[in-house]
Amino acid sequence: MPYLFTSESVSEGHPDKIADQISDALIDNFLAFDANSKVACETLVTTGLTVLSGEVKSEAYLDVQQIARNVINQIGYTKGEYMFDGNSCGVISAIHEQSPDINQGVDRGNPEDQGAGDQGMMFGYATSETDEYMPLALDLSHKMLKELAILRREGSEINYLRPDAKSQVTIEYSDDNVPQRIVAIVLSTQHDEFDSEEKMLAKIREDIINILIPRVKAQLKPEIQKLFNDDIKYHINPTGKFVIGGPHGDTGLTGRKIIVDTYGGKGAHGGGAFSGKDPSKVDRSAAYATRHIAKNLVAAGVADEVLVQVSYAIGVVEPMGIFINTYGSSKVDLNDGEIAKKVEEIFDMRPYAIETRLKLRNPIYSETAAYGHMGRENKVVTKTFVAANGTEITKEVELFPWEKLDYVDKVKEVFGL
C-alpha cells in the first residue's frame, strides 16, 4: 500500500541553528590554533542576549565574544528591529576547563589507545534515493531553505525576507519504496512588516510558488522534477504574520535539531547532538564514520539502503559492536550480521582511527552547522582565523570528508562485487 513520509529543515537564521553555528565556530577557532583542543561548547540565544557555556582544554586563547558576534552578523541578524543583532546583543561567556575525570579516559600515552569521549550509540544511514545518497524529503527541504537564503541575500526578486525560516516536504511512496509525487510543501519564512496581512500572505505565497520553487526544481534531475505537480498542497506561512522571529521569537539552544542535522527521520538516531563537540566526542565523530560506511556500502552496490550502528563505552578504545540493517535491500548473498562482520574488517572504528581517517582535527565544522551534516559536498577550501592577540592563521582544509566514496573499491573487493 502506498505511504507518505515527511521531513523538515530549518534555516541558518532559526534560533537553534544560530546556537549550533556559534558553537561550531568556537570549535573551528580552537582547532585552528590548537588541533588537540578538547571542546564541548553549548550556546543559548534569546532576545538581545547570547550565552556561551561549556568545557574547554586548549592552548588557544580566543575572543569568544567576537567570534559569536561575527557568526550572528554573517547569518543576517544585523538590525536592531530584529531585537537580536550581532553588534548590540549581550554576549556572556561561562566557558570553563574540561573535567580531568573525563580527560583521563580519552588522552593516552599512545594516541591509538585514545578512549571514546562518551558512551552511547551512533547511527549512519544512506539510500540510493538521491545522488547524494540521502532521503529525498529531507534533501528537498534543505534545498528550499538554502535557495531562500540566497534570495534573501540577493534582495532583488524577494526583498522582504528575514533570516528565520522552516520547511517541510511530504512525499508519497509506492509499495516498493519509490517516490511517486510530492503531496505537500510547508514553508514558513520570517518577513518585514506589510501594509496589510492579506496582501502579505498573497505576496509571500506567490513568490514562494513562482520564484523559489522553480529555482529549486532547476537544480534537480528530470525524474525528481516530475514529482512536482499541480496538486501539491502548499502551506505558506500558515499561521499568518511572521515578523517576530529568530531568538526574539524563540530561544535557541545548541543541539536541538538532531533530526534536521542527520536523515530527516529516516534510519535512526542515537540521540547525541554534534555541534559544539570536538571529534574526541564519538557522538560526532562516530556518527560521521557510520555515515561514511553506509554511503560507501550503498555506492558499492551492497544494498540500496543501509543503516549502520556503532556503540561505545566512555574511555574504552574498541567499540562495543557494529550493527547493520539493509531493510531487505541487500544485493549480496549474506545476512545483515555477516555484512557487519565484513564491515568490521574494512573500517577501523577506534576513536583515534576515525579522527585520522576522516581528518577530523581540522577546523571543518562551521559549514556543518546549517542545512545538515550529511549529504553535503566534499571539497577543499581555505579558511582564515584570528586569535585574541591578533595572530592570524590560514589553513587549507577538506570539508565533509565523510561524504567521500573512497572506500567503494575496497568494499567491492571484500564483498566480491
Annotated binding-site positions for Mg(2+): 16
Binding residues for K(+): 42
Taking the CA atoms of residue 198, residue 199, residue 201 and residue 206 in that order, the dihedral angle to the nearest 10 degrees is 140
Taking Cα atoms as reference points, which of 188, 198, 197 lies closest to residue 161? 188
Query: Which of these, 237, 177, 179, 169, lies nearest to 208 by C-alpha position?
Result: 237
For residue 11, give the C-alpha cell. Answer: 534555516
- Cα dist. 303→84, 96, 263, 411 in Å? 47, 46, 18, 12
- Rg of the chain over all Cα atoms, to the nearest angstrom: 22
Q: Which residues are annotated as a binding site for ATP?
A: 14, 164-166, 241-242, 250, 256-257, 273, 277
Task: Detail the residues annotated as belonging to a binding site.
Answer: 14, 16, 42, 55, 98, 164-166, 241-242, 250, 256-257, 273, 277, 281
E strands in 58-160: 90-97, 120-127
Nearest partner of 189 among 168, 169, 161, judged by Cα = 161
Q: Please state, in angstroms and as integers, the Cα–Cα distance from residue 154 to each residue in 35, 76, 83, 150, 224, following that order.
A: 36, 12, 23, 6, 26
Annotated binding site for L-methionine: 55, 98, 250, 281
Which candidate, 396, 394, 377, 373, places its Cα nearest to that of 385? 394
